[in-house]
Amino acid sequence: MRIIILVTSVLFFQAISADAIILPMRERAQVIDEIIDERIETVLPDLMERTGIDMWVIISREYNEDPVLKTFLPSTWQTARRRTILLIYNPGSGEPLETLAVARYGVGKTFIKAWDKELHGDQWKRLAELIEERNPNKIGINYSDTFALADGITHTEYDLFLESLKPVHREKVISAEELAVGWLETRSKTEMIIYQQICRIAHEILAAGLTDEVIQPGITTTNDVAWWYRDRIRELKLTAWFHPSVSIQRETSPAL
């Protein structure tokens, strides 16, 4: 059972000797946005340097989001907006990343709106202009034979993207598989502090489900306990990555 929850580092230290604290959604949203900004500033530059990709283009349409794009969206965005294109450019020499939204709106505080339909016209044309102006060495997009989470661009968006580019830039397009996976698997300093609190919350939920308040010998089934966990997680305003599973392992049971 994997539980997704965010709490502040301040609350972590306050709760070090007490029960875990779960923030209300509004306060949780603030933490999410702060962590996204921190990750873009401190995690992403090293990943782009390591993979040799100096421009990362992430493209999604509303309700069919690239899994990676969802990790860049601010807390109040449930989905992309129409077609949302994020352009991340590493100018090198230790300069900050340039983060642009080739979209109808800016995306959070970090991705600055770089397309105005009335001013620039076609969205793909504007994206091609921004790429031309920066002239990157490698353009990473999210397609992968191996990792589903790094394979977020759809066939339609892939074709339209390539059609928008000049041949010289089309040749620079490569898979951003390593960059996408690196982004998803790497944690910032703040996240590593919060992770201890996440584990505490999970352990408290697990322990509560294995008490006589939940289990009545001879009556309660493992499926009953699994659904108790599911209900308890929702009561706490959390979500489970997978439906919980519970099994009995006895001393005489075959080794798993």
The residue extents of the domains of the chain are 3-30+194-240, 44-185
Residue 172 has pLDDT above 90, yes or no: yes
Q: What is the pLDDT of residue 17?
A: 36
Cα–Cα dist 18/222, whole Å: 29
- How does DSSP classify residue 4? E
Look at residue 78 in the predicted model and tell me its pLDDT. 83
Kindly report the number of other CB atoms within 10 A of residue 107's CB atom. Answer: 24
Rounded Cα distance, 181 and 35, in Å: 18
**45-59, 176-190, 241-255: segment of lowest average pLDDT:** 241-255
Question: Which tokens go with 26?
Answer: 């509004």
With CA atoms as reference, report the closest residue to 84 among 55, 64, 98: 64
For 9, the token pair is 């580092």
Predicted model pTM: 0.85
Q: Token pair 């009561």 is at which residue?
A: 235
Q: What is the average pLDDT across 170-182?
A: 98
Look at strands 3-4 and 239-240 and give their pairing: antiparallel
Residues 6+ apart with CB under 8 A from 95: none
Can you name the residues that pair with 88 across neighbouring β-strands? 56, 99
Kindly report the CA angle at 162 between 86 and 59, in degrees rounded to 5? Answer: 25
* pLDDT bucket at 21, cuts 50 / 70 / 90: confident
* Torsions phi, psi for 84 (to 5 deg): -110, 125
Task: HSE, CB side, 13 Å, CA atoms: give it for residue 37.
Answer: 13
Q: Is the pLDDT of residue 16 over 60?
A: no
pLDDT value at 14 more than 50: no
| Residue 178 near residue 51, CB atoms below 8 Å | yes
Q: How far apart are CA 178 and CA 160, in angstroms?
A: 23
Looking at per-residue confidence, does 156 or 5 come out higher? 156
pLDDT in tens, 186-245: 999 999 999 999 999 999 999 999 999 999 999 999 999 999 999 999 999 999 889 999
Q: Is the model's pLDDT at 4 over the cut of 90?
A: no
Residue 12's pLDDT band (boundaries 50, 70, 90)? Answer: very low
β-sheet bridge partners, residue 99: 88
Q: Which fold has domain 44-185?
A: Creatine Amidinohydrolase; Chain A, domain 1 (3.40.350)
